[in-house]
Amino acid sequence: MRNYLSIILLFCCSLTVSAQKPRIYFFNDFVQSRITYKNHQRFIVMLNFDAANGEMLYKEGDTMMSLTNPEAVDTISVGDRKYVYHDRKYCEVFQRENGTVLLGWKLKQVHKGQTGAFGLPTQAHVQKLSTVDLSGMGLGANPNAGMGYIKYDNYDAPTLDVWKQKNDNTYYFIKGGKEYKVRTLKNVYKAFPQYKDKIQSFVKENNLDMIHADNAVQIIDYIFSL
């Protein structure tokens, strides 16, 4: 009981949350996680990350709450995944051989219409969707979560809503004592004009992009080596 009350105080308030955008849960379900605060307090809670709205969500019974006061958080551990709050974003920490990459996940959905005759997309009224499913690697999350098409079944309805799930991630890393923040290849080339030709050749030879997280981290690994 004491721990529960402490959690409520640290979270500032208990409330049912509503998002400005449809939620995209990073994990298939709420996962047992450890929150470590900068004052060294630790709590075990059931968490999920809303990658559309950038919120860490906490669930107590049937009540869902948003983790507030994120500046007070040191780290959030979900299995072997580690998150920190940086630049007003929850970022996953990737320890690489030559440096650390912080990945600020941002997933969004683009509605492509509905499947009609012969399975072709048609533009129609958006119907009720089933729960978002990001099943993939690790704890039910998809680290690539890139440009794949996802069909959400409207139960027994004759049509399916078709959405395109897209990354809009931000990557942070330090090279030469300076922190860099990049989202696109254009950002990368602008940040490292002296290496632009080498990076372009590396990207082309390995068929890489900044859309998929694993590709983006490979590009940053290469930058670390320059």
Burial-class residue 43 by CB neighbours within 10 Å (0-12, 13-18, 19+): middle
- Among residues 105, 108, 112, the alpha carbon closest in space to that of 23 is found at 108
Q: Are 24 and 110 within 8 A, CB to CB?
A: no
Q: Which two tokens stand for residue 92?
A: 């996953």
Residue 131 or residue 30, greater confidence: 30
Give the residue-averaged pLDDT of 188-203. Answer: 98
pLDDT greater than 70 at residue 66: yes
Q: Which two tokens stand for residue 109?
A: 């959905």
Residues 135-163: tens digit of each pLDDT: 332 333 433 333 233 333 333 334 444 44
Q: Are 102 and 86 within 8 A, CB to CB?
A: yes
Q: Which residues of 47-66 are buried (b: 16+ CB within 10 A; e: fewer)?
A: bbbbbbbbbbbbeeeeebbb
Instruction: Say what the pLDDT of residue 2 is.
Output: 45
H-run or E-run covering 216: helix 213-225
To the question of pTM greater than 0.85 for the whole model, the response is no
